[in-house]
Each structure stands twice: as C-alpha cells, then as structure tokens.
Amino acid sequence: MTGTHQIYARHFRSSRPSGYTPKEVDKDPSLGVRLDKVLKEQLDDRTTEFVNSLKSWFDKKGGLTKNQISSFERIESRFSPGEKIKLKAWENEYRTIHAQDARILATYYAKAGYWTQMAHGILNVEGYVPVKQKYINMSTNKYALNVMKNFKDAPRFEKGSMVQLRSTVGKSSHTLQLAPFRNRLCFVLSCESESVSATKGGKGYKVLPLGHSHPLEVEERDLMKPNKKGKSV
C-alpha cells in the first residue's frame, strides 16, 4: 500500500463511528411479492435497474431498509389504479397531441446533447411515451420554444425554389460539412425538415445542390436568394 493510500485508510478508520451497526432491515415477506409486481409494469431502464437492485437486496437480506422501502413506495405508488388511469390518459394525450412535436424536439436535443435519454426513446423506441413531467420540462424551456417557433414559422424560401448557400457556410461548427458548397445554387426540396435549431434562422430545410446527387440538411440562416456569385458546380 502506498503512503497516500495508507493515509486515506487511516482517515477512513478514524472517521468511522466506533459504535457503527448495520441499518435495520424490515423483513416483511410481502415486500418480495410487491417488488415482483412492480417489475412486471412498464418501467424505464433506470427504474428497472433500481427495482432489480432492491429485489437482489431483499433476496439476500430477507427485507429492505427504511430508506429503501420509502424509495420503493414512491415508485410503487405510480402503479396504483388511480395513477394507472392518469398514465393512460397521458399516453393518449401524448400520442394524439404531442408526438409530432416530440420528434422535432428529440432531433434537436439528440444533436445538442441534452435530454439524450428521452430523445433516444422518442426517436428509436417503438411505443415509447416519456414521463409527463419530464416531457413538460423538456418541451417548455426557452430553447424548445425557439425550436418549435422555427419549425412552425412560414418559410422564407418555398419548396421548389432556387436558393444559394451563403459564402460564410463552413466557418462555424454547425456548417463545417457545408464548406465545399459555398455560393452553390440549390433547389429547395423541403422547408419542413425536422433538423431545426434554437437559433434565429434555425428553420430546417432540405436542399439539392446543382451538380450534386445527394440532398443537404441546412438551416434558413445558411441560405439566400441567388446572386451573380452563385455557382452550379
């Protein structure tokens, strides 16, 4: 053991209460049945992992501590008959009202690096419904509101029109991939792309550069009306 490790070991021993005793375990046998019942519910990955850890503890110790029971009961309460009715109502509301907006926001957050777990679920997991309060928090902050405003605003450039990529594209982090297309003339394929940012002019477009076989995802701020500098290749 190194000198540093010895110091930490001595500190730990000296700081540990001399009369330390393990936390008392409530050995209520019904806890095992309740844990199994909750594990059959539709849980997210993190909750499943936590309840499984409680079940492993219960199987080993024959019970749970007071704090563990308190944490478990908060989870268990979400699956009471009354809460299940509320959950079903939220699932219906989400699918009929919020699902489309949720995909747009999830696309933004997946790129921005926030709310990534929820964004992954929305984009990649069939039948996924986010927790109501978490979705509200994700969808009502100022960045989310700006994203949705950009998406729903009337486009400056119509589908089928010719536009030109600005000479400044490729000089910022969000446009590095566009550098070879500076001043390139393009046709607008779509002005309702889900690739939207929270920045002014962040409305998403799909455009096809002249002389190029694949469309590009760009933002409205990257485009302008064609001028004499516009290039076809």
Cα 170 from Cα 160, distance rounded (Å): 24
Query: Is residue 180 assigned to a domain?
Result: yes
% of residues, the chain, pLDDT over 90: 67
In a domain, 43, yes or no: no
| Secondary structure element (H or E) that encloses residue 190, with its range | strand 185-190
Q: Within a 13 Å sphere around the CA of 10, how many CA atoms are in the beta-carbon half?
A: 7
More confident residue, 19 or 139: 139
Residue 74 within a domain: no
Domain-embedded: residue 219: yes
| Confidence band, pLDDT 50/70/90 cuts, at residue 196 | confident
Q: Considering its fold, how many domains does the chain have in total?
A: 2
- Domain span at 212: 162-224
Give 202-213 pLDDT, tens digit per residue: 999 999 999 999
Q: Is the pLDDT of residue 164 over 70?
A: yes
Q: State whether 219 and 181 are in the same domain.
A: yes
Q: Are residues 130 and 174 in the same domain?
A: no
For residue 14, what pLDDT band results from cuts at 50, 70 and 90?
very low
How many H helices and E strands in the chain? 9, 7
Q: How far apart are CA 183 and CA 227, in angstroms?
A: 9
Kindly state whether residue 60 falls inside one of the protein's structural domains.
no
Neighbours of 154 (CB within 10 A): 7
pLDDT at 22 (0 to 100): 56
Give the lowest-confidence range in 3-7, 25-29, 89-93, 126-130.
3-7
Q: Which residues pair with 188 in a beta bridge?
A: 207
Residue linked to tokens 């119509």: 158
Q: At what angle do helices 132-139 and 116-124 cross, to 10 degrees?
A: 100
Q: Are residues 219 and 166 in the same domain?
A: yes
Residue 171 lies in a domain: yes
- Averaged confidence pLDDT in the chain: 88
pTM of the predicted structure, to 2 decimals: 0.67
Is position 72 within any domain?
Answer: no
Q: Looking at the structure, do residues 183 and 214 belong to the same domain, yes or no?
A: yes
CB 26 within 8 A of CB 66: yes
Tens-digit pLDDT profile for residues 59-107: 998 999 999 999 999 888 888 888 889 989 999 999 999 999 999 999 9
> In this structure, is residue 157 part of a structural domain?
no
Q: Is pLDDT above 80 for 15?
A: no
Question: Which residues touch 66 (CB under 8 Å, ≥6 apart)?
Answer: 23, 24, 26
